Amino acid sequence: MEKKKLIPLLALAAVLSSCGPTGTTTESSFDPLDEGDLVRDEAGNIVYDGVELKMWSVTTGDDASTQDAIIAGFNDLYEGQIHVTTTHTSRYDLETLLNTTMQFDRPNAPDLLFNHGSRAAEYRERGWLLPVENYFGKAETPLDKDDFVPSLLNAVTLDGSLYGLPMDVHSAMVVMRVDILEKNGYEIPTNYEELVAICDDAPKKAANNQLWIRGENSEGYAADEWRLASTASPYAAFPISYGDMWVHEFVGYTAAVQNGATLVDEEGMPAWNSDETAKGLQLLRDWIFPSATSYNKSALSLDYGSSYDVGNAPLLAGTAMFKLQGPWAYMNEMADFDRLLRNDGGADNITTRSLSGLFTRDDSEASSLIKGEGHAIMMMAPEKFSLTKACAATVFMDYMAYYSGIEWAKRGHLPAAISVSNSSAFKADPAYEEYIQYWGQPEDYVVVPPTVNYTYIDTYFKNALQQTLSSSYQNQTVKAILEDQYEDCVSYIELYA
Amino acid sequence: MKNGLFRGKRAAKALAFVALLLVSALMLLPIVWGVFGSFRDYNDFSLYPGSFFPSDFDAFTLDGYIALFSKTEYIPNAANDWYPIWNWLLNSLIVSLRGSLLYLLVASLAAYAFVFLDFKYSDKIFVFLIATMTIPGVISTAPQLLNMNLLGFYKNLMGLIAPSMGGVYGVFLIRQFFLGIPKDLIENARMDGASNFKIYWKIVLPLGKSALFVQGLFGFMGAWNDVQWAQLIVGSADRSLWTLAYGLKVISDNSEAYESITLSLASAVIAMIPIFIVYLVAQRSIIEGVAHAGVKR
Amino acid sequence: MKEVTLREFATREERRKSSLFKAFSVGGFLGPYAICFALFFVFPLVFGVVMALCSFDGKTMFPSEFVGFANFEAVFTNPVLAKDFWGSVWNTLRFALIIVPLSILLPLGLALLINIKPPGYKFFRACIYLPGIFPLTATGLILLKMFDYHYGFFNAFFGLTLDWFGETWSAWLLIGYFCLWCGIGGNFIILCAGLENVDKSLYEAADVDGCGAFSRFLHVTLPGIKDQLFLCLFTTFIGYMNLYGQVYILASNTPDQDAMKSAIYRIQDMLLGSSKGYGYAAAMGICLGIIIIFISVIELIVTKERKGGHAHEERFVSWQKSR
């Protein structure tokens, strides 16, 4: 009985496996003369008659609602012609969903994917993506590649073809307590040296009972009441930890690139096992564990170990002056301070700066760089290809790249299209004046260059970063940690090659 | 002599009482902390981390729960403008109940065969079955997904029920309990002319009730709490097909804001409530089942 | 009248014994399960074994090439695979060696206390089992928040400065605590039911015989629940050799991942993303399975001997009684 059931199933599996991968669009099938299912009007323009596009997006929470509002604008503009439906999925679940769907359920795969551009190389290797450039041509949608930030465009350019259109770039940023800085006679720091000068001086002041702070507290003071910092515990002005997402997604890489490191080499292999990377990570290690040889003499941060979002509570309490944060949360941050210090300036008591220049003592071109992540819209290889859909998709991509505008930038997503961030409409917005300008120019942002080994390169770099900042690894040099992780990383890549 | 024994027994009971009280308190402590935490303001956590309860009345908040039940802003399409928590609850109930009941039937029939029908190689087959338990399930995760797809169970609640049907543990557990049923009882019934099915239904099942309840509860909870497999099977399906455990995990993953401790704890509490209710009810049945089986002996 | 009954009886007996009828009834009882087992257990498993003998191209889940035992060879000889996988097996084994005895002795002790039936024992029984009924993700989340380094309740309350999830040893300690807190419920309930079903007359006989509490436990209680104990030992061991969720939830941020990853965690890592690692993952799964089988067989042999030992003791007791 058992056997009988088994044989047809196995046979079925065999049949399925032989026909599984076929029947999908191949990359090289573009023929410029082929009109496919296009319908044109007398003037020769493509007619979009109720084209439905399905998009999966990696954005969640407030980002998702902002994005939905932007897409709703597109849907209104193209009512009756093109309609985009979006599903939001967190970065943790998106990979699994893509994997299962692209293998078992291609008919229900999305047409478009709004995800981090650095993933494109891996997706293409699995045969999930279509090159987009030809369809821009076919649809006569304008595409000026020179108008996009080179690093972002490069991330989705694979073997010379474009596999998606960059939308934006974002990173972590720094939130600063202006009120505390001013009250204690400090200026807003613009580079690492200035930052360390403040962070080395503040603990001394605190120890001498001279450092003014205010904020949320459990000692019975009003939040906006100035008081002197307690001498009982050491003052650390800029909390970071290896458990913090801001550190392992952005600050670790940023420290590396600001000190001149290259993350990935020409062959797509990891290149972060360098002295430059070690220099950057050593600076972060000294941040928490200062030594006789370190530039900072006192700890900029307590050892928060595996905790995350470690800056939130100290910044609100005034026991820190700086913290790391995702720019998409800055609006919430302002709301928090509007509430906390409502009688004395509210959100004016904080300001924000990009990571530019904060993690190196060098003064080179690289020192202003910020490691970011760029969103891009990619076109998924569908089971049944429709040229009309592909052309409609380019119209949507173009809209998203050029008309997402200031609302998307308020959430820290700086436009990938240079002409947008230079436009007067963009700069005229009060939000630009107030905080977006401080997040720097999109050109300062770099992302990981395209590599099919992205997952491994990223995972093992983060391991090295975690160990560098962990108290239990202080007996190993940064360089040794990097070499260890590099070896494992390369071994896995070679195993799969 | 008798008095002394009685006194000794009382002392033992008192000691056992104290010990159990302590252990129970330890068991419940984190859960109680979590439940109170789900009503507690983020600031209160950071200012008074050492306080077990919210530090004062102002620190009480319903924000976590409000956020859970009013997550409307994500979803633009009016047809789908809230997280269908009630749908998820229903799905979880369907999967858990149907799955555990079907499996109980199938597994108890098999256990009966192993214990009371002495067929050729029954021992060897059983040893083989047990041996398969040692094989890590992770090997068959990917093929199982393929299997569900072949059977048309992908993006279908059946895909969550079917894989547990082949489980060995339940057969093992139920057989272990059936072994304790006196063989004479069965032989006598056979002499009286009862068919195997009648013996199974009228004698063995009632006697093995406690085992069935235990396995039923295990099966129910396993299905209820599953997140990983649910993600693979219904994760890419329409939201209304999700199970409660998976849906709540998605909500808590999606709220990355730093105030999320209240929300995450609230989602944990919501995930716990339904199974807690089931447990309250089933717990009584288990005790009865156990007692029943005890009396019959 | 009597004649007919006898004949009826005889035919019934004949029918019962006829092999055809027997096959029919066995099929009827075992059939449904056999089908399910074949369909939902054997088939995926066989396919999994096939996967272990194949290589994958990273694009689909279907094997692309038959490579024989190359994957197994890699698991043993490739430096990084061997280091990571066998290291993780060793982590798992060490942990199982500690946690399995605890996961049986602790519930056994609690079940014995319950069996004394102090006031409110039903309530206590419910409390002890309670944490295990909840999703691991929910209870794990509570632990994560409670043991947070700077803002967790535990450190703040006891004035400790220990990064529970940052140090390898303390992370394992918490995983152990998590496993006991949420994992002993099943064994506990099984042992409670087992104790409940131990023949009461045996206890009385032992009392009459003047047995001490300890010898009563050794000669009456333990043999009475040996089936349940065996069940617990066997399933708990297999369960913890498959340890994954607890480590994933509590320790995925611990810096020394090599010291934290369990075998299944490693395998799971290889199953994520591209399918290139599937062949190795399947081979690792089979290696782990063989280890588990090997140790389980040893367990089986040892417990069988122990059973024999008990049989001797029992005979000795009855012999004593008869004198």
Question: Over the stretch A170-217, which tens digit does the pLDDT of each residue have?
Answer: 999 999 999 999 999 999 999 999 999 999 999 999 999 999 999 988
Residues 158-197 of chain C whose Cβ lies under 8 A from any Cβ of chain A = 163, 165-168
C78 vs A contacts (CB less than 8 Å): 491, 495
The mean per-residue pLDDT over the stretch B152-168 comes to 89
What is the pLDDT of chain B when averaged over all its residues? 80
Could you please state the CATH topology (level 3) that the domain comprising A34-171+373-446 is classified under. D-Maltodextrin-Binding Protein; domain 2 (3.40.190)
C113, C133, C267 ranked by CB distance to B19: nearest:
C113
| Residue B84 sits at the chain A interface (C-beta within 8 Å) | no
Minimum distance, in Å, between the CA of residue C259 and any CA atom of chain A: 13
The answer, yes or no, to whether residue B179 has pLDDT greater than 90, is: no
Contact C81, C162 (CB under 8 A): no
pLDDT band at C305 (very low <50, low <70, confident <90, very high): low
- Give the integer Cα–Cα distance in Å for C4 and A418: 103
Sign for the CA dihedral angle at B261, B262, B268, B269 comes to positive
Same domain, B210 and B130: yes
Q: Which domain holds residue B86?
A: 78-296
Minimum distance, in Å, between the CA of residue C168 and any CA atom of chain B: 22
**Are the Cβ atoms of C59 and A126 closer than 8 angstroms?**
yes
What CATH number does residue C195 fall under? 1.10.3720.10
**Are the Cβ atoms of A13 and C277 closer than 8 angstroms?**
no
Task: Give the residue among A167, A96, A60, A95 at the shortest CA–CA distance from A417.
Answer: A167
Same domain, C181 and C46: no
Q: Tell me how many domains chain C contains.
A: 2
CA B115 to each of CA A205, B118, B212, C21, C51: distance values in angstroms, whole numbers, following the listed order? 80, 7, 15, 17, 36
Cα-Cα end-to-end distance for chain A: 43
B50, B113, B267 ranked by CB distance to C156: nearest:
B50
Map residue A345 onto helix, strand or coil.
coil
pLDDT band at B176 (very low <50, low <70, confident <90, very high): confident
Domain-terminating residue out of B43, B69, B95: B69
- The segment with the largest mean pLDDT, out of A104-113, A391-400, C117-126, is A391-400
- Give the integer Cα–Cα distance in Å for B32 and B252: 20
Same domain, C22 and C80: no
Same domain, B147 and B189: yes
Pairing of strands C65-66, C54-55: antiparallel
Percent of chain B with pLDDT over 90: 16
* Token output for C209: 């015989």
Same domain, C10 and C47: yes
pLDDT at B275: 84
Same domain, B139 and B37: no
CA A488 to each of CA A269, A276, A375, A476, C109: distance values in angstroms, whole numbers, following the listed order? 12, 20, 29, 17, 45
The mean per-residue pLDDT over the stretch B265-288 comes to 80
What is the pLDDT of chain C when averaged over all its residues? 85
Q: Return the H-helix or E-strand segment holding C316.
A: helix C278-322
| Residue A16 sits at the chain B interface (C-beta within 8 Å) | yes
B76, B235, B236 ranked by CB distance to A68: nearest:
B76
| Residue B257 sits at the chain A interface (C-beta within 8 Å) | yes
Minimum distance, in Å, between the CA of residue B49 and any CA atom of chain C: 5
* C-contacting chains (≥3 CB pairs under 8 Å): A, B
Q: Which amino acid is at A488?
A: D
The answer, yes or no, to whether residue A166 has pLDDT greater than 90, is: yes
Lowest mean pLDDT among A273-277, C2-6, C120-124: C2-6
pLDDT at A5: 37
Nearest-Cα residue of chain C relative to residue B117: C26
pLDDT band at B72 (very low <50, low <70, confident <90, very high): very low
Domain boundaries, chain A: 34-171+373-446, 173-371+453-496
Q: Is C168 exposed, middle or buried (0-12, 13-18, 19+ CB in 10 A)?
A: middle
Q: pLDDT tens digits for C27-83?
A: 888 899 999 999 999 989 888 889 899 998 877 778 888 999 999 999 999 999 999
- Give the integer Cα–Cα distance in Å for C87 and C84: 5
pLDDT at A307: 87
- Give the integer Cα–Cα distance in Å for C163 and B279: 35
Give the count of beta carbons closer than 10 Å to the beta carbon of residue C4.
8
Same domain, B118 and B98: yes
Q: What angle do CA A64, A65, A71 make, to 5 degrees?
A: 90
Q: Output DSSP code: residue A182.
A: H
Same domain, B268 and B151: yes
- Give the integer Cα–Cα distance in Å for A416 and A148: 6
Contact B249, B225 (CB under 8 A): no
Same domain, B144 and B219: yes
Nearest-Cα residue of chain A relative to residue C81: A492
Q: Which amino acid is at A122?
A: E
Contact A362, A259 (CB under 8 A): yes
Domain-terminating residue out of B51, B69, B87: B69
Lowest mean pLDDT among A76-80, A266-270, B88-92, C162-166: B88-92
B139, B145, B218 ranked by CB distance to C186: nearest:
B218
Residue of B127, B129, B134, B288 best to disrupt the C interface, most CBs of C under 10 A: B134
Same domain, B45 and B147: no
pLDDT at B77: 37
**Are the Cβ atoms of B147 and C43 closer than 8 angstroms?**
yes
**Are the Cβ atoms of C196 and B294 closer than 8 angstroms?**
yes
Size of interface B-C (CB pairs under 8 A): 287
**Are the Cβ atoms of A100 and B235 closer than 8 angstroms?**
yes
Minimum distance, in Å, between the CA of residue B238 and any CA atom of chain C: 23
A134 CB-near residues (< 8 Å, 6+ apart): A30, A32
| Residue C78 sits at the chain B interface (C-beta within 8 Å) | no
Map residue C60 onto helix, strand or coil.
coil
- Give the integer Cα–Cα distance in Å for B167 and C235: 13
Minimum distance, in Å, between the CA of residue A321 and any CA atom of chain C: 18
The answer, yes or no, to whether residue B29 has pLDDT greater than 60, is: yes
What CATH number does residue B166 fall under? 1.10.3720.10
What is the pLDDT of chain A when averaged over all its residues? 89
Same domain, B170 and B227: yes
| Residue A437 sits at the chain B interface (C-beta within 8 Å) | no
A127 vs C contacts (CB less than 8 Å): 59
Contact A214, A389 (CB under 8 A): no
pTM higher than the cut 0.90: no
B232 vs A contacts (CB less than 8 Å): 96, 100
For chain A, how long is the longest CA-to-CA vector?
Answer: 85
The mean per-residue pLDDT over the stretch B213-223 comes to 84
- The segment with the largest mean pLDDT, out of A3-7, C20-24, C108-112, C229-233, is C108-112
The answer, yes or no, to whether residue C222 has pLDDT greater than 50, is: yes
C62, C165, C273 ranked by CB distance to A17: nearest:
C62
Domain membership flag for residue C61: no
Residues 120-159 of chain B whose Cβ lies under 8 A from any Cβ of chain C = 129-147, 151
Class for the domain spanning A173-371+453-496 = alpha beta
Residue owning tokens 């002319």: B193
pLDDT at C105: 95
* B-contacting chains (≥3 CB pairs under 8 Å): A, C
Q: pLDDT tens digits for A475-488?
A: 999 999 999 999 99
| Residue A461 sits at the chain C interface (C-beta within 8 Å) | no
Q: pLDDT tens digits for A377-429?
A: 999 998 889 999 999 999 999 999 998 878 899 888 999 999 998 998 899 99
HEC letters along C83-150: HHHHHHHHHHHHHHHHHHHHHHHHHHHHHHHHHCCCCCHHHHHHHHHHHHHCCHHHHHHHHHHHCCCC
Map residue A57 onto helix, strand or coil.
strand
| Residue A190 sits at the chain B interface (C-beta within 8 Å) | no
Domain membership flag for residue C63: no
Contact A269, A490 (CB under 8 A): yes
* Token output for A48: 């979009």
Sign for the CA dihedral angle at B53, B54, B56, B61 comes to negative
| Residue B31 sits at the chain C interface (C-beta within 8 Å) | yes
| Residue A316 sits at the chain B interface (C-beta within 8 Å) | yes
Quick check: do A34-171+373-446 and A173-371+453-496 share a fold? yes
Same domain, B111 and B214: yes
Pairing of strands A173-177, A322-325: antiparallel
Q: pLDDT tens digits for A224-266?
A: 999 999 888 889 999 999 988 899 899 999 999 999 999 999 9
Q: Is A114 exposed, middle or buried (0-12, 13-18, 19+ CB in 10 A)?
A: buried
| Residue B165 sits at the chain A interface (C-beta within 8 Å) | no
Q: Output DSSP code: residue A140.
A: T
Percent of chain B with pLDDT over 70: 86
Q: Which domain holds residue C27?
A: 4-52
B216 CB-near residues (< 8 Å, 6+ apart): B100, B101, B104, B282
**Are the Cβ atoms of A329 and B74 closer than 8 angstroms?**
no
Same domain, B111 and B65: no
* Token output for B39: 């009503």
Percent of chain A with pLDDT over 70: 94
Contact A305, A471 (CB under 8 A): yes
pLDDT band at C318 (very low <50, low <70, confident <90, very high): low
Lowest mean pLDDT among A70-74, A119-123, A315-319, B187-191: B187-191
Domain membership flag for residue C98: yes
B145, B254, B258 ranked by CB distance to A309: nearest:
B258
| Residue A306 sits at the chain C interface (C-beta within 8 Å) | yes
Q: Tell me how many domains chain B contains.
A: 2
- ipTM for this prediction: 0.85
- Give the integer Cα–Cα distance in Å for C171 and C176: 9
Cα-Cα end-to-end distance for chain B: 30
pLDDT at A130: 94
Domain-terminating residue out of B46, B69, B92: B69
Same domain, C158 and C279: yes
Lowest mean pLDDT among B68-72, C67-71, C181-185, C254-258: B68-72
Report DSSP letters for C217-238, one per residue. IIIIIHHHTHHHHHHHHHHHHH
Minimum distance, in Å, between the CA of residue A316 and any CA atom of chain C: 14
Task: Give the residue among A300, A168, A334, A323 at the shortest CA–CA distance from A244.
Answer: A323
Residues 95-114 of chain B whose Cβ lies under 8 A from any Cβ of chain C = 105-107, 109-110, 112-114
A9 vs C contacts (CB less than 8 Å): 39, 43
B76, B145, B147 ranked by CB distance to A100: nearest:
B145
